[in-house]
Amino acid sequence: MSDFTMPSLGADMERGTVLEWLVAPGDVVHKGDPMAVVDTSKAAVEVETFADGVVVDLVVRVGSEVPVGTVLAHLGPVGAAAPAPAPEPAPEPEPTPEPAEVAAQEPAATTGHQPVVHSPLARRRARELGVDLASVAGTGPGGEITREDVEAAAPAAPPTPSTVPEAAPATTPAARGAGRPRVTPYARKLAREMGVDPAAVTPHDGETVRASDVRAAAIAAPAPAAQAPPPPAPPPGAPPPTGAPRPTAAATRAQTMRETIARLMARSKREIPHYYLTTTVDLTDALAWMREQNAGLPIAERLVPAALLLRATALATARHPALNGFWVDDAFVPGSGVHLGVAVSLRGGGLVAPAIHDADRLTVTETMAAMRDLVTRARAGRLRGSEMADPTLTVTNLGEQGVESVYGVIYPPQVALVGFGRVVERPWSVDGLLGVRPLTTLTLAADHRATDGFTGGRFLATIDDLLQHPEEL
Amino acid sequence: MTATMVKTTYREALREAIREALQRDERVFLMGEDVGAYGGCFGVSLGLLEDFGPERIRDTPLSESAFVGAGIGAAIGGLRPIVEVMTVNFSLLALDQIMNTAASLQHMSGGQYAVPLVIRMTTGAGRQLAAQHSHSLEGWYAHIPGLRIVTPATLEDARGMLWTALEDPDPVLVFEHGSLYNLAGEIAADAGPVDLDHAAVRRPGDDLTLITYGGTLGRTLEAAEELAGAGVSAEVVDLRTLRPLDDATYLGSVTRTHRAVIVDEGWRSGSLSAELSARITEQAFYDLDAPVERVCTEEVPIPYAQHLEEEALPQVRDIVAAAHRTLGEQP
């Protein structure tokens, strides 16, 4: 089987029109026999075949203008039985929006047949438009499937919604796919090295993920997956870092973590103008309510005071969004949700602050479960990459270590850190009466670039207020 | 060791370089339009005729093709000519000699004839000399294999590039930006030959790389200073030699800063800046944190009117704005 193609009848000829077919399917032709008359836009020229054979079918109909190299007819070997009813080169019923220059191939002819697509653009468009390339008739040289062919085929095969960007911003080419922000090559490389999923990084300019955004994301995960022990499996889509040393001994691990903490904390104190606020919260009502709840709960689900404090912090954070987010490149970037980082100290030293995602939408019981789960897995070294990635505000509770208050160092690029001290019983005056009450010291370390003490003060007052009405938590 | 510093200008430094070459090597002579009695159209050779005589400081007829051709012949014949062409615009009359003969002869003769020729010419705009005297075509010459293209932008390079160029067995074109002749400053009294192989970091920085050469080095350094005021640390690379390009230096810088702005007084399309941008993309793609920016001359014949000429040329504000774009910021 050989192809009879549109010849180039002059150096400047790019396309030609079939004016007349001089053969019909079933005809036996010999090398040198004229097959068709072709208009080169300068002259009508008879075009001969260079091969012997039997005309199997005529692919291009009279009047069609096609590029040089397009298959015009197929020739079969001489002696082979002429194919039964060869498809007429008449217009096919299949509607195509573009001027149908080439009769569409019979689907039967293409099955079991690899589509000819060399153009990455055509492949990408096919993917975007949900077009099956095997079903597309190519009009390019040698039946090559072009972008136009793919786009012409698209209406017949409606795209699957998931593959089409819903409402790509006008400024970004629709081809960017799924409306995801673009990532610079360096940012992509850096993300791989740091074990960050670039798709999960929020670009500070809303359009392009740059190296600074990746660094911010990596730092937001206080013990980056690449360096710190927690997730034995890197986040999905992030191959294991190549540059980072793979610590084997626990000592190395602890040292790496120490270095990470050192770097972060030094940066925090160097860059962030901290301000500190303190208030003492009376937990009488909160703890009474908690005991009441616990009476009806199985032991495994019982609440601890920290759950109430976390819950109150989450709600207050949602009400004071200025404290929830990041300071990046001289501007505050609000967090995409309330993701509370919970500082967990690890056995053998070091600490991590994985996130409880959307903590403001959990009930107290769910908060308790999330906290218990997180602490257990953090200490077992089984945190997930996503948990490490994006706390928007961190809470530290050194109360269980017996301290009364903690003035924390903010995790950059976050802008606030809330600390809870030990619950202690102290003489406390309420409405002029002195009593012994359970109290905790609530502290806030906040970035003065992002907020002022006024905002911080209201935030602490909100937490206090919420803890006075535990039934509403 | 602190060398004694002396005050000089770019023009005087060039003259001293020619004087030194004439003294050191009797094969060296200077040839060009008005280089003798008039002292050179830009005053570079003033006084040399008196010191070295008409055999070695030769005024030529107004025919670039003829005197560049004569220079090629002299070089093949064993002399070391320095040919001065008044401006790069006029050098086009000698383009056939430069490209088809000077750049090709070594190859065409199977290595029998080297052409150790130095051609100096003035390039660039900014002096209201209009479209026939102001263009920056050094990028065109940098396209031609067989030539070495150098662009002294500092007093040291004005003083030191000529001798090294004369030592080169192949033709070297020296482009002197017209705005630099009056550049004044101090150089070491014993300043001498410099290498023609390496680009130079004129100002170190970490946030982005400004790549430039010749007449735009000054404005680029000004832009870097202004950026520093905005907290942006820009590294400035002076290419010095446009062919062959010293890839290691500017790519090393871009690999470190992840952002590049190319400042070139040539036109943008099909230009040296395009070549640099392509090489950065080819060799440092995975280190780029922003698309490469180019600050070039508007694609018009250089206007005569002062305000239009200024508007057409790369200015400090354009460089600063491009730098901010690479950082993803509004200036």
Q: How far is B272 from chain A (nearest CA, A)?
A: 24
pLDDT of residue A146: 81
Cα A340 to Cα A443: distance, rounded to the nearest angstrom: 16
pLDDT of residue A144: 79
Q: Which of A155, A137, A154 is nearest to A146 (CA)?
A: A137
Which contiguous run of DSSP H or E holds residue B249? helix B247-257
Higher pLDDT, A87 or B290: B290
Higher pLDDT, A134 or A446: A446
pLDDT-based confidence at residue A118 (cuts at 50, 70, 90): low
Lowest mean pLDDT among A160-164, A412-416, B108-112, B295-299: A160-164
Determine if residue B190 is left, alpha or beta; phi over 0 gives left, psi from -120 to 50 gives alpha, anything else beta.
Answer: alpha
Collect all residues with Cβ–Cβ distance below 8 Å to B281 and sequence separation of at least 6. B288, B292
pLDDT of residue A252: 65
Which residues in chain A have Cβ-Cβ distances shorter than 8 Å to B328? Answer: 204-205, 208, 210
ipTM of the predicted structure?
0.71
Q: Do A188 and B258 touch (CB under 8 A)?
A: no
Q: Do B288 and A184 touch (CB under 8 A)?
A: yes
Written as six digits, the tokens of B289 are 């944190």
Cα B8 to Cα B75: distance, rounded to the nearest angstrom: 31
Overall average pLDDT of the B283-303 stretch: 95
Q: Which of A364, A383, A358, A363 is nearest to A373 (CA)?
A: A383
Tell whether B330 is within 8 A of chain A (Cβ).
Answer: no
Task: State yes or no: pLDDT of B124 exceeds 90.
Answer: yes
> Which residue in the set B258, B328, B329 is minimally distant from A186, CB to CB?
B258
For residue B278, give the 3-state DSSP assignment.
helix
Cα B40 to Cα B326: distance, rounded to the nearest angstrom: 43
Task: State yes or no: pLDDT of A194 exceeds 70.
Answer: yes
Higher pLDDT, A62 or B304: B304
Overall average pLDDT of the A321-348 stretch: 87
- β-pair partners for A424: A439
Overall average pLDDT of the B191-216 stretch: 96
Residue A66 · residue A139 · CB < 8 Å: yes
pLDDT of residue B166: 97
Overall average pLDDT of the A353-360 stretch: 87
Percent of chain A with pLDDT over 90: 19
For A186, which residue in chain B has the nearest alpha carbon?
B287
Q: Do B258 and A205 touch (CB under 8 A)?
A: no
- β-pair partners for A394: A341, A417
Tell whether B229 is within 8 A of chain A (Cβ).
Answer: no
Mean confidence (pLDDT) of chain B: 95
Chain A, chain B: beta-carbon pairs less than 8 Å apart: 28
Q: How far is B265 from chain A (nearest CA, A)?
A: 28
Q: Which of A231, A225, A153, A230 is nearest to A192 (CA)?
A: A225
Whole-prediction pTM = 0.51
Q: Which parts of A320-380 fold into alpha helices (H)? A: 364-380
> Which residue in the set B285, B286, B328 is minimally distant from A208, CB to CB?
B328
pLDDT-based confidence at residue A110 (cuts at 50, 70, 90): very low
Task: State yes or no: pLDDT of A206 exceeds 50.
Answer: yes
pLDDT of residue A7: 83
The type of residue at A183 is V
Task: State yes or no: pLDDT of A166 exceeds 60.
Answer: no
Q: How far is A173 from chain B (nearest CA, A)?
A: 16
Tell whether B329 is within 8 A of chain A (Cβ).
Answer: yes
pLDDT of residue A385: 61
Collect all residues with Cβ–Cβ distance below 8 Å to A137 and sequence separation of at least 6. A102, A104, A105, A110, A143, A145, A149, A153
For B258, which residue in chain A has the nearest alpha carbon?
A186
- Render pLDDT for B249-270 as a digit per residue (tens, 0 to 9): 999 999 999 999 999 999 999 9
- Render pLDDT for A225-262 as a digit per residue (tens, 0 to 9): 333 333 333 333 434 344 444 444 556 666 777 877 88
* Secondary structure (DSSP) of A2-28: EEEE----STT--EEEEEEES--TT-E
Which residues in chain B have Cβ-Cβ distances shorter than 8 Å to A188? Answer: 286
Which residues in chain A have Cβ-Cβ distances shorter than 8 Å to B230? Answer: none
Whether B200-326 and B5-188 are alike in CATH topology: the answer is: yes
> Could you give the count of Cα atoms lying within 13 Å of A391 in the half-sphere of its Cβ?
31
For A184, which residue in chain B has the nearest alpha carbon?
B289
Q: How many CB atoms lie within 10 A of CB B211?
A: 27
Residue A366 · residue A451 · CB < 8 Å: no
Q: Which parts of A272-304 fold into alpha helices (H)? A: 284-295
- Render pLDDT for A280-312 as a digit per residue (tens, 0 to 9): 999 999 999 999 988 888 887 888 888 899 999
Q: Do B286 and A185 touch (CB under 8 A)?
A: yes
For residue B175, give the 3-state DSSP assignment.
strand
pLDDT of residue B330: 64
Task: State yes or no: pLDDT of A222 exceeds 60.
Answer: no
Residue B54 · residue B31 · CB < 8 Å: no
pLDDT of residue A11: 62
Q: Do A185 and B329 touch (CB under 8 A)?
A: no
Lowest mean pLDDT among A79-88, A214-223, B115-124: A79-88
Task: State yes or no: pLDDT of A156 exceeds 70.
Answer: no
Residue A131 · residue A58 · CB < 8 Å: no
> Which residue in the set A185, A188, A210 is minimally distant from B328, CB to CB?
A210
For residue A372, give the 3-state DSSP assignment.
helix
For B281, which residue in chain A has the nearest alpha carbon?
A185
- β-pair partners for B227: none
Lowest mean pLDDT among A27-36, A324-333, A349-358, B269-278: A349-358
pLDDT of residue A253: 63
Q: How many CB atoms lie within 10 A of CB A186?
A: 21
pLDDT of residue A105: 40
- CATH no. of B5-188: 3.40.50.970
Interface list for B 258-317 with A (CB within 8 A): 258, 285-290
Domains for chain A: give ranges and CATH numbers: 2-95+168-227 (2.40.50.100), 272-472 (3.30.559.10)
The type of residue at A385 is G
> Could you give the count of Cα atoms lying within 13 Å of A66 in the half-sphere of its Cβ?
29
Residue of B33, B133, B275, B293 marked active site: B133
Task: State yes or no: pLDDT of B326 exceeds 90.
Answer: yes
Q: Among all chains, which residue has been given the structure tokens 């007449």?
A: B215
Which residues in chain B have Cβ-Cβ distances shorter than 8 Å to A271? Answer: none
For B232, which residue in chain A has the nearest alpha carbon?
A329
> Which residue in the set A186, A204, A210 is minimally distant from B286, CB to CB?
A186
Tell whether B328 is within 8 A of chain A (Cβ).
Answer: yes
Q: Among all chains, which residue has been given the structure tokens 């390039």?
A: B123
Q: Which of A450, A195, A188 is nearest to A329 (CA)?
A: A450
The type of residue at B78 is G
pLDDT of residue B284: 94
Check if B64 is active-site.
yes
pLDDT-based confidence at residue B88 (cuts at 50, 70, 90): very high
Q: Do B287 and A189 touch (CB under 8 A)?
A: yes
Q: Parallel, antiparallel, or unpaired for β A355-356 and A340-342?
A: antiparallel
pLDDT of residue A223: 43
Which residues in chain B have Cβ-Cβ distances shorter than 8 Å to A205? Answer: 328-329
Q: Do A208 and B285 touch (CB under 8 A)?
A: no
> Which of B253, B256, B289 to substitute to test the interface with A, most A CBs within 10 Å?
B289
Q: Do B258 and A204 touch (CB under 8 A)?
A: no
Residue A129 · residue A158 · CB < 8 Å: no
- CATH no. of B200-326: 3.40.50.920
Task: Report CA Rg, chain B.
Answer: 20
Residue A433 · residue A426 · CB < 8 Å: no
pLDDT of residue A345: 79
Task: State yes or no: pLDDT of B286 exceeds 50.
Answer: yes
Residue of B12, B33, B64, B84 marked active site: B64
Task: State yes or no: pLDDT of B158 exceeds 90.
Answer: yes
- Find the farthest-apart pair of alpha carbons in chain A and give their distance in angstroms, rounded: 117
pLDDT of residue A77: 84
Q: Which parts of A132-271 fold into alpha helices (H)? A: 147-153, 185-194, 211-220, 250-271
Q: How many CB atoms lie within 10 A of CB A162?
A: 8
Q: Which of A31, A36, A2, A33 is nearest to A16 (CA)?
A: A36
Q: Tell me the angle at which helices A211-220 and A185-194 cross, rounded to the nearest 10 degrees.
A: 20
Q: Among all chains, which residue has been given the structure tokens 């080095």?
A: B217
Q: Do B286 and A189 touch (CB under 8 A)?
A: yes
Residue B176 · residue B43 · CB < 8 Å: no
Determine if residue B328 is left, alpha or beta; phi over 0 gives left, psi from -120 to 50 gives alpha, anything else beta.
Answer: left
Check if B133 is active-site.
yes
Residues of A near B (Cβ–Cβ under 8 Å) read 184-189, 204-205, 208, 210-211, 329
> Which of A189, A204, A212, A330 to substitute to test the interface with B, most B CBs within 10 Å?
A189
pLDDT-based confidence at residue B142 (cuts at 50, 70, 90): very high
Interface list for B 239-258 with A (CB within 8 A): 258
> Which residue in the set B289, B328, B329 is minimally distant from A186, CB to CB?
B289
Cα A323 to Cα A321: distance, rounded to the nearest angstrom: 5
Q: Among all chains, which residue has been given the structure tokens 């501007």?
A: A331
Cα A383 to Cα A374: distance, rounded to the nearest angstrom: 7
Which residues in chain A have Cβ-Cβ distances shorter than 8 Å to B290? Answer: 184, 208, 210
3-class DSSP string for B116-132: CCEEEEEECCCCCCCCC
Residue A63 · residue A21 · CB < 8 Å: no
pLDDT-based confidence at residue A200 (cuts at 50, 70, 90): confident
pLDDT of residue B253: 97
Q: Give CA separation, B264 vs A344, B88, B205, B310, in Å.
A: 55, 16, 20, 14
Q: How many residues does chain A have?
A: 473
pLDDT of residue B317: 97
Which residues in chain A have Cβ-Cβ distances shorter than 8 Å to B286? Answer: 185-186, 188-189
Q: Which parts of A27-165 fold into alpha helices (H)? A: 107-110, 120-129, 147-153
Q: How many CB atoms lie within 10 A of CB A453?
A: 13
- Find the farthest-apart pair of alpha carbons in chain B and give their distance in angstroms, rounded: 60
Cα A37 to Cα A7: distance, rounded to the nearest angstrom: 11
> Could you give the count of Cα atoms lying within 13 Å of A216 in the half-sphere of its Cβ?
24
Residue B134 · residue B312 · CB < 8 Å: no
Using CA atoms in the order B277, B280, B282, B284, what is the torsion angle rounded to 10 degrees? -150
Task: Report CA Rg, chain A.
Answer: 35
Residue B150 · residue B175 · CB < 8 Å: yes
Which residues in chain A have Cβ-Cβ distances shorter than 8 Å to B283? Answer: none
Q: Where are the domains of chain B?
A: 5-188, 200-326
Torsion sign across C-alpha atoms B160, B163, B166, B168: negative
User: Is residue A97 exposed (0-12), middle (13-18) or buried (19+ Cβ within 10 Å)?
Assistant: exposed
Residue A164 is classified by DSSP as S
> Which residue in the set B287, B328, B329 is minimally distant from A186, CB to CB?
B287
Lowest mean pLDDT among A29-43, A152-166, A238-252, A327-341: A238-252
- Render pLDDT for B26-65 as a digit per residue (tens, 0 to 9): 999 999 999 999 999 999 999 999 999 999 999 999 999 9
Task: State yes or no: pLDDT of A103 exceeds 50.
Answer: no
